């Protein structure tokens, strides 16, 4: 029996195999963030045949203040739900499960896009784009927690199979987690537990919004790969707390400013991160990072480097990749 073909079940979601399409920004939405025909056609093409067990929709902004770029998908208003249902229905109709990723860009946002001054955990330069944000007040933090909660509720109402909270790639929750950008001296800063306080409060708020049986995923930038940034040891501490808070799946990535590892041609180059996380949690862990060969996916699973395999660029380039991979194993 192929490792990649084995089903996996966790908290009210059963995946037919271990193949995941990770979130990848397409910038195909309408100017206001609404679903466009282009985005529906894109996900229809990627999900056709249902060979991918789980498709994670690209990061979607929870509030206009947290919009990362033009063309980004929105989940910031109740009036978007009906359009978002079209997206979940297409993917379900093709035979795949789907989760929507929700995000706030924080200091990675631009006033030219949002119309607002960027905000962050501290008024220090974001190494990703070098701008200095306004430091969030505790009230503003509470408002953002509520925005995540409302966005998650919309995701459920739109018929998705789960929701993923984005804490990677230099966006707001990664900014709180990273000592590079979190210099706070209140309860939202300091050690790892302080720096993930906002995460834990968001997870609780989201769980309250979606109920016990709706899967919650969290994408964790498990190492900043920058001097003075987060390390895998920090992320092990965080992962334990996220599991306690009832996150169902951890989706592991890395690199605060984007990351090109020395072994960029190695299949599954974030495997050292997922392997470290798997040692301290019992919930499923997703590995992405340069995986283009089905034999490599099989090997990574057989070596318990991860529970699920995310294949991004290969599927982006070739919509038949999943079909060919799955058929080759049968």
Rounded-to-integer distance, Cα 23 and Cα 55, Å: 8
> Per the domain annotation, does 205 fall within a domain?
yes
pLDDT in tens, 162-204: 999 999 999 999 999 999 999 999 999 999 999 999 999 999 9
Q: Confidence class of residue 260 from pLDDT cuts 50, 70 and 90?
A: low
Q: What pLDDT does 261 receive?
A: 64
Mean pLDDT over all residues of the chain? Answer: 96
Mean pLDDT value across residues 259-277: 84
Greatest CA separation for the chain: 56
Structure tokens at 5: 């073909």
Residue 1 lies in a domain: no
Query: 58 lies in which domain range?
Result: 8-328
- Beta pairing, strands 13-15 & 8-10: antiparallel
Q: Is the pLDDT of residue 112 over 90?
A: yes
Number of domains in the chain: 1
Separation CA 214–CA 157 (nearest Å): 11
Does 206 have pLDDT greater than 90?
A: yes
pLDDT at 150 > cutoff 70: yes
Structure tokens at 200: 């834990």
What is the mean predicted confidence (pLDDT) over 41-59? 99
Distances (CA, A) of 89 to 92, 94, 209, 290: 5, 9, 22, 29
The number of CA neighbours under 13 Å toward the Cβ of 246 is 15
Instruction: Assess contact for 111 and 65: CB atoms under 8 A.
Output: no
CA distances from 101 to 20, 116, 130, 152, 231 (A): 14, 23, 25, 9, 23
| Any domain includes 3 | no
- Mean pLDDT for 3-12 is 96
Say which CATH number the domain at 126 has: 3.20.20.70
Q: Give 36: exposed, middle or buried? Use CB within 10 Å, 0-12, 13-18, 19+.
A: middle
Tell me the pLDDT tens digit for each residue of 218-245.
999 999 999 999 999 999 999 999 999 9
Active-site residues: which are they?
171
Is residue 186 included in any domain, yes or no?
A: yes
Taking 90 as the threshold, does the pLDDT of residue 263 lie above it?
no
Mean pLDDT, to the nearest integer, of 8-16?
A: 95
Q: Is residue 2 part of a domain?
A: no
Cα-flanking dihedrals φ and ψ of residue 141, to 5°?
-60, -45
pLDDT score at 128:
80
pLDDT digits (tens, 9 = 90+) for 310-324: 999 999 999 999 999
Q: Do the domain assignments include residue 39?
A: yes
Helix 232-244 × helix 271-278 angle, to 10°: 50
**296 part of a folded domain:** yes
HEC string for the chain: CCCCCCCEEECCEEECCCEEECCCCCCCCCCCCCCCHHHHHHHHHHHCCCCCCEEEEEEEECCHHHCCCCCCEECCCHHHHHHHHHHHHHHHHCCCEEEEEEECCHHHCCHHHHCCCCEECCCCCCCCCCCCCEECCHHHHHHHHHHHHHHHHHHHHCCCCEEEEEECCCCHHHHHHCCCCCCCCCCCCCCHHHHCHHHHHHHHHHHHHHCCCCCEEEEEECCCCCCCCCCHHHHHHHHHHHHHCCCCEEEEECCCCCCCCCCCCCCCCCHHHHHHHHCCCCCCEEECCCCCCHHHHHHHHHCCCCCEEECCHHHHHCCCHHHHHHHHCC
Residue 229 in any domain: the answer is: yes
């Amino acid at each position: 029996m192929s490792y990649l073909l084995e089903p996996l079940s966790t908290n009210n979601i059963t995946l037919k195999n271990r193949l995941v399409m990770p979130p990848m920004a397409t910038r195909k939405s309408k100017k206001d963030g609404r679903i466009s025909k282009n985005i529906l056609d894109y996900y229809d093409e990627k999900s056709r045949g249902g060979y991918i067990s789980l498709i994670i929709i690209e990061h979607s902004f929870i509030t206009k203040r947290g919009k990362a770029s033009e063309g980004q998908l929105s989940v910031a208003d109740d009036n978007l739900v009906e359009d978002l249902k079209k997206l979940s229905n297409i993917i379900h109709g093709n035979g795949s499960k789907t989760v929507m990723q929700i995000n706030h860009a924080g200091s990675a946002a631009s006033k030219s896009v949002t119309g607002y001054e960027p905000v962050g955990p501290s008024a220090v330069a974001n190494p990703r784009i070098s701008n200095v944000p306004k430091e969030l007040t505790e009230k503003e933090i509470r408002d953002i927690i509520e925005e995540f909660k409302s966005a998650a509720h919309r995701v459920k109402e739109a018929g998705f199979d789960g929701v993923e909270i984005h804490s990677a790639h230099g966006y707001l929750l990664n900014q709180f987690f990273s000592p590079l950008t979190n210099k706070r001296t209140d309860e939202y800063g300091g050690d790892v537990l302080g720096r993930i306080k906002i995460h834990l409060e968001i997870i609780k708020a989201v769980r309250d919004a979606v109920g016990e049986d709706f899967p919650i995923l969290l994408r964790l930038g498990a190492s900043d790969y920058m001097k003075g940034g987060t390390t895998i040891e920090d992320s092990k501490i965080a992962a334990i707390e996220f599991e306690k808070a009832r996150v169902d799946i951890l989706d592991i990535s890395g690199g605060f400013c984007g990351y090109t590892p020395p072994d960029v041609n190695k299949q599954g180059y974030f495997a050292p991160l997922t392997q470290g996380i798997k040692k301290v949690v019992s919930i499923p862990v997703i590995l992405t990072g340069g995986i283009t060969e089905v034999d490599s996916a099989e090997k990574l699973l057989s070596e318990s480097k991860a529970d699920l395999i995310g294949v991004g660029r290969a599927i982006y380039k070739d919509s038949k990749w999943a079909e060919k991979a799955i058929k080759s194993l049968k």
